[in-house]
Amino acid sequence: MNSEAKPSQKANSLFSLDDFAKALEQHDYQFQKGQVVHGKVFQLESEGAYVDIGGKSSAFLPREEASLRTVTNLSDILPLNEELEFLVIRDQDAEGQVTLSRRQLEIRHLWERLAQMQENSQTVEVRVTNINKGGVTVDIQGLRGFIPRSHLSERDNLEALKGQILTAGFLEVDRGNNKLILSQRLATRSANFSMLEIGQLVEGKVTGIRPFGVFVDLDGVSALLHIKQVSQKFIDNLEKIFQVNQPIKAVIIDLDEGKGRVALSTRVLENFPGEVLENFEEVMTSAPARAERARAKLSE
């Protein structure tokens, strides 16, 4: 029984070796649309480039898919025989050739980078390309974005913005719906926010009065002077002390850039309880000296 098994095993072994080369020739790598592959450009043509990605047939990269930016010379961005990443954008044709893109891979990476920038509250420079009633369209590293009119610093003369470079923050980054909404005002607020610190004396204007406190604009940053932080003495009605557009000086007692919150206090400027109520102008005039004293106490 053992002697019969040996020739059979030998035959199977011989068969595998004899057909190994043919099996390799017949084998074809299965590349699918959406797959990221590595390859080397080995031939440049006027209409595109041929790339070796390890398949039975070479892959093709159309000129318009070479880069997100405008390309005049393919050799500048597609060096021969250098390994690069590509995205498969069309499945194999009858000859087994797939179509590749560097442009769409760059777009994918760019969306990921912008989403990360939004998460980190970073800003970006954009170029205004067009205007409409609702705002301006912008170019952001090759992608098309939009800044609503309400989020522009200049809202009256949009025509003057065409071609200008603006610094903007991110309101919405949605790759699935191809939505990229930005805000120039958000970037201004972020820049101004970075200049604020606890214990700092700031000057602003009252923008709103509520039962719980007073809203103050600090060069684009909205701050809150809570009713309990106005004076050491009880206050029943803030409208008796403040009015909209009134200039005010106060000390920053809390900051939260992530939530866009700034808490102010005039209470810490008082020499005695109720001084803000009795002599508001005197407190404001001598605020710098009073703030130094308050800052020392805050740092204790």
pLDDT tens by residue, 221-232: 889 999 999 999
Residue 242: how many other CB atoms lie within 10 Å: 17
pLDDT tens by residue, 32-89: 888 999 999 999 998 999 999 987 778 999 999 999 888 888 988 899 999 999 999 9
CA distance 250 to 263: 10
**With left for phi above 0 and alpha for psi between -120 and 50, is residue 133 left, alpha or beta?**
alpha
Cβ burial of 45 (10 Å; 0-12, 13-18, 19+) is exposed
Nearest one of 276, 273, 263, 270 to 293, comparing CA atoms: 270
**How far is the CA of 97 from the CAs of 100, 130, 171, in angstroms?**
10, 40, 41
Where residue 103 falls among pLDDT bands split at 50, 70, 90?
A: very high
Task: Please report which helix (H) or strand (E) contains residue 193, including its range.
Answer: helix 184-193
Q: What is the pTM of this model?
A: 0.59
DSSP-assigned letter for residue 49: E
DSSP-assigned letter for residue 64: G
pLDDT for residue 16: 57
Domains by residue range for the chain, with CATH: 36-101 (2.40.50.140), 120-189 (2.40.50.140), 196-298 (2.40.50.140)
pLDDT for residue 1: 47
Strand residues in 149-293 grouped as ranges (E): 165-174, 179-183, 201-210, 213-218, 221-226, 247-256, 261-265
Q: Which two tokens stand for residue 136?
A: 């301006």
For residue 31, is pLDDT > 50? Answer: yes
pLDDT tens by residue, 143-191: 999 999 989 987 888 888 999 999 999 999 998 899 999 999 888 777 7
3-state secondary structure of 90: strand
CA distance 293 to 290: 5
pLDDT tens by residue, 82-93: 999 999 998 888
**How far is the CA of 158 from the CAs of 74, 126, 161, 172, 187, in angstroms?**
37, 15, 5, 22, 18
pLDDT for residue 29: 57
Q: What is the mean pLDDT of residues 276-294?
A: 91
Where residue 95 falls among pLDDT bands split at 50, 70, 90?
A: confident
Q: Are 187 and 219 in contact (CB under 8 A)?
A: no
Q: What is the biggest distance separating any 2 CA atoms in the chain, rounded to whole angstroms? A: 115
Q: Calculate what percentage of the chain has a pLDDT beyond 90.
A: 56
